[in-house]
Structure 1
Amino acid sequence: MEKMCPFSLLILLALWIFGPNLVNGDAQQPASPPIFILGDSTADVGTNSYIPHCNATANFPHNGIDFVNSRPTGRFSNGLNSADHLARLFGYNSSPPPFLYLHSLKYGLQLGIYRGVNFASGGSGLLDDTGLKLNVLNLPQQINQFVTVRENLITALGHETTKALLAKSLFCITTGSNDIFVYFKTRSTMPKEEFINLLMEAYENHIKTLYSLGAQKFGIISVPPVGCCPANRLLNATRCFEPMNDFARYFHLAIDKLMCKLSSELQGMKYALGDSYKMTMDVIDNPRPFNFKNVDSACCGHGTLNAEGICNATANLCSDRKQYIFWDMFHPTHAAARLAANTLYGGPTLYVSPINFAQLAAEN
């Protein structure tokens, strides 16, 4: 990949933050907070499409069938994902772009008011080795990309302005599912408690690193009931695979405890924790009030539950995608991701605590 010269990247980021007013000497900060997104495929808006030889991509049909012009975008979705829907709820017309897209541009481009940057890479996890064979970007690599953004902001805006900007920004993280997938795929014998503690140690280190770089507001999305994904239902005669769900439940309890601990240790840190497990299970157990009918099959795929092959141009495709929770063997549909984002943004403490994402953004 051809690297952008530092000056071009600097100008690009400055324009992305403040828009054309910066060029005219009138840098007005937008009302909505910048959003930096890290994590896995549930928030990847095209990162993996820019990674050479990546083995976890979605830049082909039927992905994107409900996107503008039915265009595959690299999202593991028929349309938008949770990162996109959250950005819209915060008032942005479109989602923050992938860092690798910005980095691929030769020249600064006037891209409008500041939205943020997306670093999420499908297949990644909390542990460095998760996704290694897929050639994706793990969390330390994603954080290193943020370091590049921060350095360029400091050069363009000065240290104090950058510090103030990052302090009000939202850092949304959705990760952990792939670590659990790998645990079961490799038939690890590590006790559950020990494995989840290992994940929490990694999570703590990542959050502390981001905090040291200026992050203060964290929107954390815990692991959903991964045992209910169509692919994992095949492990249990099409029913949810409970051993995997047990890990997801334990993960949420652990991350809840960790975030409470960190918020008391790190001055100025605030957080909102979305209970993705409960949010999703409540829909699976009682889908009709949420306007869903199919909670076990993938809309796009091959074989039993459409879960024996990836979603591609030759896959079976459901006719009413709004009625499905799952788009493919692992990922939610546009409709399910929108429901999740709405809940994270404005939901009650039953699903997101101690405050929701909208309240987090409003915190001083």
Structure 2
Amino acid sequence: MSLVSGLWHEGARKITVAGLPPIGCLPIVITVFSSDALTNRRCIDRFSTVATNYNFYLQKELDLMQMSLAHLGSKIFYLDVYNPLYEIIHDHRKFGFEEVSSGCCGSGYLEASILCNPKSYVCPNTSAYVFFDSIHPSEKTYFIIFKSLQPTIDYILSCF
């Protein structure tokens, strides 16, 4: 609540908070927590369940914050990134992806952020991968998620 109040005092009137993705499907999580990370590259449901529970409580908390800030003329919005990414992962061929459980950079299992740099190996076709590195979606995935959220974003932009 204090962060939102601080943002309001800085002039923010529309605040958007994104939920967590299906973290059990991130290549790094599969690598670290799978019983056999080389042959069993499936999502680990217990971690994704943590994300869905977090997102549920986050939405409830944002609703309460919205009620308490309504008199200030601010609006708080929740963006669901979990479901679009989950759909892409579980129906990846429909979206034109070939690889869903490893990233395009390096081995695709552990590298992320600074470990993916100009000297790192990068797959020849990044658009075939759901993930660019072991944590972050590829540009194509981000675009598909954006397109699925565009009606919500358009609504947010049209409010007051």
Shared fold (TM-score greater than 0.5)? yes
Structure 1 counterpart SS, 2:134: coil
Partner deviation per Cα, 1:249-273 (whole Å, 9 max, x = no partner): 1111011101111111112222331
Report the equivalent of 1:291: 96
1:246 equivalent among 43, 46, 49: 49
Residue identity opposite 1:245 in structure 2: S
Partner deviation per Cα, 1:271-325 (whole Å, 9 max, x = no partner): 33111111111111111222222111101112xxx21333234433212111211
1:221 and 2:18 are equivalent in the alignment: yes
Matches within 5 A, 1:172-187: none
Partner deviation per Cα, 1:18-68 (whole Å, 9 max, x = no partner): xxxxxxxxxxxxxxxxxxxxxxxxxxxxxxxxxxxxxxxxxxxxxxxxxxx
Residue identity opposite 2:65 in structure 1: L
Report the equivalent of 2:141: 336
Residue identity opposite 2:142 in structure 1: A
1:361 equivalent among 152, 157, 160: 157
Quick check: 1:219–1:357 contact (8 Å CA) kept in 2? no
Quick check: 1:301–1:312 contact (8 Å CA) kept in 2? no
Task: For 1:334 and 1:248, locate their aligned partners in 2 and report how far apart those are by CA, in whole Å.
Answer: 22
Residue identity opposite 1:334 in structure 2: E
Partner deviation per Cα, 1:51-108 (whole Å, 9 max, x = no partner): xxxxxxxxxxxxxxxxxxxxxxxxxxxxxxxxxxxxxxxxxxxxxxxxxxxxxxxxxx
Larger Rg: 1
Task: For 1:317 and 1:327, locate their aligned partners in 2 and report how far apart those are by CA, in whole Å.
Answer: 9
Residue identity opposite 2:156 in structure 1: L
1:232 and 2:29 are equivalent in the alignment: yes
- 1:339 to 1:280, Cα distance in 2 relative to 1, 3 A: same
Report the equivalent of 1:345: 150
Residue identity opposite 1:308 in structure 2: L
Report the equivalent of 2:110: 308
- 1:315 to 1:363, Cα distance in 2 relative to 1, 3 A: same
Residue identity opposite 2:124 in structure 1: S
Cα RMSD (Å): 1.7
1:264 and 2:67 are equivalent in the alignment: yes
The structure with higher relative contact order (CA 8 Å, sep 6+) is 2
Matches within 5 A, 1:109-188: none
Task: For 2:18 and 2:100, locate their aligned partners in 1 and report how far apart those are by CA, in whole Å.
Answer: 21
Task: For 1:308 and 1:262, locate their aligned partners in 2 and report how far apart those are by CA, in whole Å.
Answer: 37
Partner deviation per Cα, 1:101-134 (whole Å, 9 max, x = no partner): xxxxxxxxxxxxxxxxxxxxxxxxxxxxxxxxxx
**Unpaired stretches in structure 1, ≥5 consecutive residues:** 1-203, 347-355
Task: For 2:110 and 2:76, locate their aligned partners in 1 and report how far apart those are by CA, in whole Å.
Answer: 38
How far is the alpha carbon of 1:210 from its aligned partner?
0.9
Structure 2 counterpart SS, 1:232: helix
Task: For 1:259 and 1:308, locate their aligned partners in 2 and report how far apart those are by CA, in whole Å.
Answer: 33
Report the equivalent of 1:324: 129
Task: For 1:345 and 1:205, locate their aligned partners in 2 and report how far apart those are by CA, in whole Å.
Answer: 28
Task: For 1:245 and 1:338, locate their aligned partners in 2 and report how far apart those are by CA, in whole Å.
Answer: 22
Count of residues in correspondence between the two structures:
149
Structure 2 counterpart SS, 1:297: strand
Task: For 2:132 and 2:100, locate their aligned partners in 1 and report how far apart those are by CA, in whole Å.
Answer: 10
